[in-house]
Amino acid sequence: MMCLVVTPGCGRPATEAECREILRRTAELELKDRLNDPALIQAELKEIEDSMHDPMLEKCVGKRITEGAMTCVREAKDSQTLSRECFR
């Protein structure tokens, strides 16, 4: 799974809700790349969110984020796009 890296420099501190959204979207796109069953994807998402909660708080909350990065996360069509383009 992609490590959550938030853009340094411009922007504002990321909230817990934004970090959760980044984590969920990243996991969802990666799971869709390899699974076709929506129920299985949802079960895996829950497991990933639970296991990554503490690391997400440590590595993401309060780090600098821009509105552009959040828009990119929301609009990414696949995990490669998200990891290559949203957090440059």
Q: What is the pLDDT of residues 75-84, one digit of tens each?
A: 999 988 898 9
User: Does residue 52 have a pLDDT over 70?
Assistant: yes
Give SS3 for 13.
strand
Report the alpha-carbon distance of residue 52 to residue 67 in Å, rounded.
23
CA atoms within 13 A on the CB side of 10: 6
Overall pTM surpassing 0.85 (yes/no): no
Domain locations along the chain: 16-85
| DSSP code of residue 14 | P
